[in-house]
Amino acid sequence: MRSLTALIACFWVLASQTSAHYIFNQFSSAGIKYPVYQYIRQNTNMNSPVIDLTSTDLRCNQGGVTGGNTQTITIAAGSSFTFTSDTAVYHNGPLSIYMAKATSTAAAFDGAGSVWFKILDLGPTFSNGAATWPLAQDYSYTVPTALPSGDYLLRIQQLAIHNPYPAGIPQFYVECAQVTVTGGGSGAPGPLESIPGFIKGDEPGYTANIYANFSNYTVPGPEVWSGQNAGGGGVSVTTKKPVVSPVDRFRLVVCLVEIAGDNADNIRQANEHNGNGCAGIALRAVRWTGLDWAEGLRQPVCMYFQQRLLLAVSLKAETLVGRRSEAKKRGGWGVVIRMSID
């Protein structure tokens, strides 16, 4: 049991190191990369995603309602800009860029109302039955020349759909830069949408299972404003290092199990997904131990470490009694499960 205790502790250390995600915290313009958060509203949730489709945090992330402490950068229509994340994006999913014209100054604007329009969508490309996503660290684009001058919020959004719905919940990685556009045109951006409200939750691009019969994809949200064709364009995606999708390559799955109360809604959602995503693999792992998925399984959490997928699930303590599991009481029950996936 001594070695098992060490194993559990070691895996929890790995889990804590890999639970981090990424955040778009740096903005560049005219070839100059500015300090982090100088022109991007600083969020208050570290690098965690937003998952609530009804939350105003979807606009500019948690803590990004206003930008009084954020500077506003002047950028000419037709010029390029770049969003940079703290680490390369690695969750599969599309990337979009939105804008919203401020009613006063960009710093004072909270993005409320039907004011948001989309200027860019980057979805997957399909070849030989496989999808390749725009996973990178730098995302560059051009301010449409037809865009009227004024103050805007410039919003980047990466929608991570690596944990298929409904067993998993899509994750929004969003940030807003504050910009003043000069030398603009007379275009009428649209369609205009409100955030939240721009995605309902039933769109195929939101609910897609990218691991089962995945051969086409439409990015959710409004159509891209055609005004970008009047001078916008020049998409550039620069991958800083090779990016491996968390569930594209793995052979060893380690389940970290922490005992907690059950959640009926998560059990229902998990039972609806038996595929090769996070929930499906966790299901097979739990069944391998002799446990029943319905006996208290909560929402699984996927983490990635050195080409191995770590699945964290929760079970009620009583489900472990008399089962084929190794367990060690350590501030509550914990069990390590190993299985190979071909």
Question: Would you say residue 293 has pLDDT above 70?
Answer: no
pLDDT of residue 18: 39
Quick one: which of 278, 52, 283 has its CA closest to 170? 52
pLDDT at 164: 86
pLDDT (0 to 100) of residue 168: 85
pLDDT the model gives residue 235: 63
- Residue 175, CB-side half-sphere exposure with 13 Å CA sphere: 28
- The pLDDT, as a whole number, for residue 158 is 98
Mean pLDDT, all residues of the chain:
74
pLDDT of residue 339: 32
Q: Give the angle subtended at the CA of 170 by the CAs of 165 and 173, to the nearest 5°.
A: 175
Give the integer Cα–Cα distance in Å for 313 and 279. 9
Of the pLDDT bands very low, low, confident and very high (cuts 50, 70, 90), residue 238 is low
pLDDT tier, 227 (very low <50, low <70, confident <90, very high otherwise): confident
**Mean local confidence (pLDDT), 197-217:** 95
- Angle, vertex CA 135, rays to CA 130 and CA 141, nearest 5: 120
Q: Which helix (H) or strand (E) is 25 found in, with range?
A: strand 24-29
Is the pLDDT at 223 greater than 70? The verdict is: yes
Which residues, other chains included, contact 121 with Cβ-Cβ below 8 Å and sequence gap of 6+?
Answer: 94, 95, 96, 219, 221, 224
Closest CA to 335 of 292, 278, 282, 289: 289
CA dist 100 and 189 (Å) reads 9
Distance of CA 22 to the CA centre of its chain: 8
Per-residue pLDDT for 268 more than 60? Answer: no
What was the pLDDT predicted at 129?
86
pLDDT 10s digits, 297-307: 444 444 433 33
Which of these, 237, 197, 236, lies nearest to 220 by C-alpha position?
197
Provide, rounded to the nearest whole percent, the portion of the chain with pLDDT above 90: 56
pLDDT greater than 60 at residue 313? no
pLDDT at 16 over 70: no
- On whether the CB atoms of residues 110 and 215 are closer than 8 A, the answer is no
- In degrees, rounded to 5, the angle at the alpha carbon of residue 155 between the alpha carbons of residues 160 and 177 is 130
Name the packing angle between helices 264-271 and 278-288 (round to 10°). 100
Within 8 A by CB and 6+ apart from 99, the residues are 116, 117, 119, 147, 152, 153, 154, 155, 189
Nearest CA to 232 among 192, 185, 179, 195? 185
Q: What is the pLDDT of residue 324?
A: 33
Q: What letters, b where the CB count within 10 A reaches 16 and e where it falls short, cover 74-102?
A: ebbbbbbbbbbbeebbbbbbbbbbbbbbb
Confidence (pLDDT) at 36 = 97
Pick the range with the lowest mean pLDDT from 49-63, 119-133, 207-221, 249-263: 249-263
* Mean local confidence (pLDDT), 232-237: 56
Q: Which of 6-15, 91-100, 294-303, 310-319 has the highest mean pLDDT?
A: 91-100
Lowest mean pLDDT among 46-60, 128-142, 171-185, 227-241: 227-241
What pLDDT was estimated at residue 334? 34
The pLDDT score that the predictor gives to residue 282 is 54
Check residues 291 and 335 and name the one with the higher pLDDT: 291
Instruction: Cite the residue boundaries of each domain of the chain with CATH code 2.70.50.70.
Output: 22-238
Read off the pLDDT of each residue in 221-245 and give the average, rounded to a whole number: 60
With a cut of 60, say whether residue 199 has pLDDT above it.
Answer: yes
Relative to beta strand 95-101, strand 73-76 is unpaired
β 150-160/252-259 pair status: unpaired
Instruction: State how far the Cα of 238 lies from the Cα of 157, in Å rounded to an integer.
Output: 16
Domain covering 22-238: architecture:
Distorted Sandwich (2.70)
